[in-house]
Structure 1
Amino acid sequence: MISDLFADVAEHRGTAVTIEAIEFVRGLYGSAVDAASSPKHATEILEQQLADADRGSRRSSVRGDVLGDALLDRKQRIADLQTRLNQLEAERNEEQKRADERADVSGLIAERDVLQREVERLGADLREAQAQRAAAEDRQPVRHPQAGSRCRRLRHRRPSAGGAAPGEGHHCRGGEPAVRDFASLCGLCTA
């Protein structure tokens, strides 16, 4: 009865009835019933209390359902965020691995550059030594016209000449005895 009155007022006004208004009207209704003190009024009060308890139970049930749904939504959101966080962590690990590989590559590049500079320096030293040798050969007088080229040929062949002792039964093409040692051969030229 009273709840129907509250529903009608809320529909007419377009807003819900406040708690204070509900308590005030129920207080007035309870006082009126107490003043009448008929068994019919006592039954109506009990019915009203049962209806109120039933509404409270339904509200609690609805609120529990809403809270349960919200809890499920939050748990799902947490699971989604954890999955995304794990994906970001995996991506960060991959990026870290790539950065480490780039650091390794840059170390190799630096080592290559150092070696390349060393090769260039050694090449320059070699060219300088060859130039000094050529200049020294140009400054030295040759005693025999073909001795300079013959000395250079023999210098290149020198490592393979090692088996027999110098001068032991070896003869040159022309039948001349072999030179005893490389130094005496180079005596033909001063290079």
Structure 2
Amino acid sequence: MNTQVNAFSKAVALLVLIFLSLGVVAQEKKSYFTIEFGQVVQQFTNVYDGPSIQFAGGYKLNRNFGVEFGVEYSPGGIAADDFWRDIDGPVEFDNVNMLSVFATTEWHLSPRTSLFTKLGSTRGTADFNGLTPNTSPTFGRLTETNLVFVLGIARPIREDMDLTFSVKEKFSANFFALGDSFDSSTVSVGLRRRW
């Protein structure tokens, strides 16, 4: 647990350092850092809901296109009893961690509103534990890479900061009829600081 928390903290610190450095040399506020709080729904094939926190840093290549890297963490929760047929009782998920890379677009609808989209890939892990039919404990880790699409709006609240609202859809192996896990939607609100 401490190892995962330390790794997560180091990833966030590295993102902050990289994009603060970019901000020193960037012109016209091309680099940014965001923090978002969200609610995960339909996580692990419609059996797990829970909160999430996301940190990301991005750089605009031009007025409309850019790149972004991010990390997301959710504390986990209890899954439905029938998630896996070979486990009796509830399955508990813990330490849901995801790393993401996106290509981004942003279009200014008006001086006060812009629409942004992100398309990319997320690599996620989650610990789980539960009871098998003979009541012996079972535990392990799920790992999966997902295709991710994000749609959101941003409204400036001051010259260098925006309020954001977004919906993220994570298309998992289940979406492509290849298996279960990590299919989810996340609704988030956050702040974006531009340099």
Give the TM-score, by structure 2 length: 0.19
Give the TM-score, by structure 1 length: 0.19
- More strand, by proportion: 2
Larger radius of gyration between Structure 1 and Structure 2: 1
Which structure ranks higher in relative contact order (CA pairs < 8 Å, sequence separation ≥ 6)?
2
